[in-house]
Structure 1
């Protein structure tokens, strides 16, 4: 058995992919470069890339299964306008422009249309993890990006089916048996697969996770192979299997079981694509390859920006959306392969297009970094001046008028206690003012603003800023210049709590502490309604406060801090046991 190719694949992935992720260039590009390095146009450690590609195509199949699992009806309904509207807008507009250019350059109408659709695709494997890392998935542009990617992923299915109907690759188009199989799958697939998974869960038990994983792979691959034998796409079969299980009780277990295989095999797929990148062609035509890669980014970005603006999107929304979606996508490689097998593209044309898409994926992180830099410059120029505070001194000054500061302010309003509210976010200030609240825009970490807010005459300063370092800077400023003003501070966590206490701030409240204790009491009561959860919570809170005081004294001694934290668990158990025994001894004998 020759394990050298396997060793080369794993070594290249382990060495290169972490470097690319660390550099912010994404794992997809790392896999592509790893494939180039070990492929026939690199070091030549692997010659037959088709063997690797056939195995790695299972990764695409599993990716479509996971996409199907995400398509819960409720989620689709919530995103219906974005998915159908924006998704179709992006795909149709980019595909039309790119296809027209390809047709004018000499491709046939069918080939130009396929190239246009392939170039309209963006990389789900690159964009979604990036949005998650940047905490932008829940932003409006993040939701729109997800909706467009979702439409693209789903649109690949009818594209592949349409190619099969047109006889792409010389295969017979699907007929009535294929349609009957799809209808049968939609009607009976979910109960049948549910029966299989319940059988596995019942007889395998807790120790049979590997059997559940095998059943999940069987569902995805089995249906994919079944439809493929009927001249339909294997991706369509896997996608339908995922959709059928999207609302089942097994959904999360299926995702956890499949995802490691999908990630690894999808990585192999990208490496196989990288092995097929013709470096010789890139050396022969460097300007064409670079021009194609840059042209893909510019074409997709400009077309989507213009289209989004035409349907009412603000420039602040259209810009990041266009930049994020400008990259080429992994499904372009799949469609180029189909076009090559169907003889719609010549080998040299497919290789050049593959190089262009790969280069666009390589340049996309650099484009995003340039966009972020320009946005920071633009924001610095457009930042409004701090508000002028001309009100008389108030009893309370609140720094940070977000979710915590607003609750404090509402309670003060209920008692007709006037306050001055400060917030560093102009968007937050504008939003809060719409509801009739008077809040001033400014940085409470600036002494000039604190003086303008007449903090020195306040009876209480509420520090409700959520950024830890900004909170510490404001607290230090208050202690130095207004030591006589009491401070009520919000702490993000234990470490922040102890840092605030180091500044001799006595009134510090951990923001999630109260709700966490309440949820703990509810959990205990739900499990055992007869126990005295109030007494238990009282002892727990008292013990935790004492532990905080001990940890405070050891704040700069990491080793001792760890020891105290570990021993505290056993101490709490002893305290609860001792209290239970003592209370049992005080209860009257009922016999």
Structure 2
């Protein structure tokens, strides 16, 4: 009963506090750590023995490594080989060497300093990747570099867990007989994949989500326990299980089945770490703990920044990469615990380092904010880039906005042999497109002088493919006013955008998602065994009705009440129209059969 009460308290505390941290931009990891510190033995003492919870919560790390293994398809790893095994390996070596040197200077033994340096060189995958995803920066150059480095670090955890006993003199392990663990690993690698695929095919025939989830958990825990029996770590077993299933047809379903358990147990793990974090050390040794935290962040920042610059990275990108990965990682909590068990580190040393890692993770959001401030400061110092000089010859078509939509139009025009002038206000997009051999000019289509320079007066068609709604409407108004003879073909983001374009008298406009949505609806109806001829009629009538409704609602767009009423009436009209189409088709089919 006491355990159930504790578990309920943990869930309640996490539900109350973790969303606050996420909303503040601090991330869920820090939220779980803070909750653990709050309710643990160094906080309000709601939980006084976090060790029992830690044994269960460590399954979260085990499941995390299983998911990492699932992502390691050989083809994907091969495509990323240079970044992962090049930049990732160099970062680990550089940061670990510098941190180990710092450990030696502070009085650690050579073996302890080497191990501490390697552990502290790891950064937080659980914090960095979700944060970059929320900031929409995973696709940037520094975001891709961060992913590659974190992937190499996650791969490094596996051999590191196996090698820790060799650094110390603690409890005996089957690693003193390395042939046992190696033999288990070889056997699993040879026969694991066909056996696991056969198991999941058997379970898939039952068509039970619960059984599939149970099979996934049994696979992970079974291989984890098998590796542990062979003297290796449970995490290694989970990782091997993931790798064996990386190319399996069940990979995505496995990931979806494991995800809820992984997230919950990983949250419990971070809470358990927070409970185990000895906050009294911060009170007893404030300068030492804060100094070590500052030293860790500074060393990791300087080594990674210097390495990225040495390899030709741009200053701003190298700085953001170094700031993003300057903290310690979640695997440090597991590794420091293992280092203490094997007497590589003393209990106080391990507790101090665990606290330092937790504090370094706590300052990570602040580091990213500093990075954003420096980016804005650099941008403010640089004079605005002048617009490109426009071509001397006029074109039949001018395309404003050369992103995903404008490029498709441009490619078709090129294939036809039609000259066009493409404009885009995003300098990075312009440089990217130019690398692929397409000619595009940097400039703002909402600038009248630029439109004159682009010789829009001589053009026949103006393709308005600008992504931003406000910029699109400004440009449309400018072209309609000063170049009324030029025909406009416009891209609309949504119904509101389409309505505003219609207000400007632009009839040739299309919502960007409409054609693909109609095609998806067509496929769906056909998969529901509707006759293709009837599907064509239904889609045609839908398009005609949708255009009529859009024109009707244009006059009441600013009255929400009338818009809601009109939309409801339109749904009833559409249902009646499609039912009439079905009845007419059925009547025609019966007539044909007679």
Same fold (TM over 0.5): yes
Aligned to 1:548: 550
Q: 1:76 to 1:435 in 2, by over 3 A?
A: closer
Give the superposition deviation at 1:413.
5.3
SS at match of 1:487: strand
Counterparts in 2 of 1:235-254, with a 5 A limit? 235-254=235-254
Structure 1 residues 163-210: Cα deviation after superposition (integer angstroms, max 9, x where no partner):
24556641323333322222221122222222332332223x2xx312
Structure 1 residues 275-317: Cα deviation after superposition (integer angstroms, max 9, x where no partner):
1222221122222222222221211111012122333333344
Contact 1:293 1:358 in 2 (8 A): no
Q: Matches of 1:259 and 1:433 in 2, distance apart? A: 41
Aligned to 1:585: 587
Structure 1 residues 106-133: Cα deviation after superposition (integer angstroms, max 9, x where no partner):
1111111111111111111011111211
Q: 1:88 to 1:168 in 2, by over 3 A?
A: farther
Displaced runs of 4 or more, over 6 A: none
Q: 1:499 to 1:296 in 2, by over 3 A?
A: farther
Asked whether 1:23 is paired with 2:24, we answer yes
Contact 1:396 1:418 in 2 (8 A): yes
Give the superposition deviation at 1:414.
6.0
Counterparts in 2 of 1:194-205, with a 5 A limit? 194-203=197-206, 205=207
Structure 2 unmatched runs, 5+:
none
Structure 1 residues 525-569: Cα deviation after superposition (integer angstroms, max 9, x where no partner):
577596224434322322332333344344334455455545655
Give the superposition deviation at 1:69.
0.8
Q: Matches of 2:26 and 2:307 in 1, distance apart? A: 27
Q: 1:83 to 1:393 in 2, by over 3 A?
A: closer
Aligned to 2:539: 537
Q: Matches of 1:86 and 1:125 in 2, distance apart? A: 20
SS at match of 1:379: helix
Give the superposition deviation at 1:37.
1.0
Aligned to 1:256: 256
Q: Matches of 1:504 and 1:345 in 2, distance apart? A: 75
Larger mean CA deviation between 450-459 and 502-511 belongs to: 450-459
Larger mean CA deviation between 303-312 and 76-85 belongs to: 303-312
Give the superposition deviation at 1:63.
0.5
Structure 1 residues 407-455: Cα deviation after superposition (integer angstroms, max 9, x where no partner):
4345555666654432112233334445665543222234443454455
Aligned to 2:297: 297
Contact 1:164 1:232 in 2 (8 A): no
Counterparts in 2 of 1:364-403, with a 5 A limit? 364-382=364-382, 383-389=384-390, 391=392, 396-403=397-404
Aligned to 2:342: 342
Give the superposition deviation at 1:327.
1.6
Contact 1:171 1:231 in 2 (8 A): no
Counterparts in 2 of 1:485-500, with a 5 A limit? 485-500=486-501
Structure 1 unmatched runs, 5+:
none
Structure 1 residues 5-41: Cα deviation after superposition (integer angstroms, max 9, x where no partner):
2233123211221111111111111111111111111
SS at match of 1:170: coil
Q: Matches of 2:592 and 2:284 in 1, distance apart? A: 96
Contact 1:40 1:275 in 2 (8 A): yes
Give the CA RMSD over aligned residues: 2.7
SS at match of 2:88: helix
Contact 2:400 2:445 in 1 (8 A): yes
Larger mean CA deviation between 303-312 and 152-161 belongs to: 303-312
SS at match of 2:36: helix
Q: Matches of 1:192 and 1:393 in 2, distance apart? A: 67
Contact 2:180 2:231 in 1 (8 A): no
Q: Matches of 2:237 and 2:511 in 1, distance apart? A: 50
Contact 2:277 2:354 in 1 (8 A): yes
Contact 2:123 2:327 in 1 (8 A): yes
Contact 1:405 1:464 in 2 (8 A): yes
Q: Matches of 1:390 and 1:280 in 2, distance apart? A: 70
Q: Matches of 2:402 and 2:318 in 1, distance apart? A: 29
Q: 1:43 to 1:455 in 2, by over 3 A?
A: same
Q: Matches of 1:573 and 1:332 in 2, distance apart? A: 60
Contact 1:97 1:116 in 2 (8 A): yes
Larger mean CA deviation between 372-381 and 412-421 belongs to: 412-421
Give the superposition deviation at 1:337.
1.0
Q: 1:124 to 1:567 in 2, by over 3 A?
A: farther
Q: 1:531 to 1:456 in 2, by over 3 A?
A: closer
Q: 1:425 to 1:40 in 2, by over 3 A?
A: same
Q: Matches of 1:150 and 1:58 in 2, distance apart? A: 20
Q: TM-score, normalised by structure 2?
A: 0.91
Larger mean CA deviation between 138-147 and 219-228 belongs to: 138-147
SS at match of 1:63: helix
Q: 1:287 to 1:385 in 2, by over 3 A?
A: farther
SS at match of 2:363: helix
Q: Matches of 1:462 and 1:138 in 2, distance apart? A: 28
SS at match of 1:509: strand
Q: How many residues align?
A: 588
Aligned to 2:196: 193
Larger mean CA deviation between 117-126 and 581-590 belongs to: 581-590
Q: Matches of 1:401 and 1:103 in 2, distance apart? A: 56
Q: Matches of 1:305 and 1:266 in 2, distance apart? A: 30
Larger mean CA deviation between 234-243 and 98-107 belongs to: 98-107
Contact 2:168 2:344 in 1 (8 A): no
Q: TM-score, normalised by structure 1?
A: 0.91
Contact 2:464 2:488 in 1 (8 A): yes
Q: Matches of 1:25 and 1:578 in 2, distance apart? A: 56
Aligned to 2:95: 94
Structure 1 residues 206-228: Cα deviation after superposition (integer angstroms, max 9, x where no partner):
xx312221221111112112221
Aligned to 1:123: 124
Larger mean CA deviation between 500-509 and 254-263 belongs to: 500-509
Q: 1:73 to 1:585 in 2, by over 3 A?
A: same
Q: Matches of 1:504 and 1:78 in 2, distance apart? A: 49
Aligned to 1:219: 219
SS at match of 1:421: strand
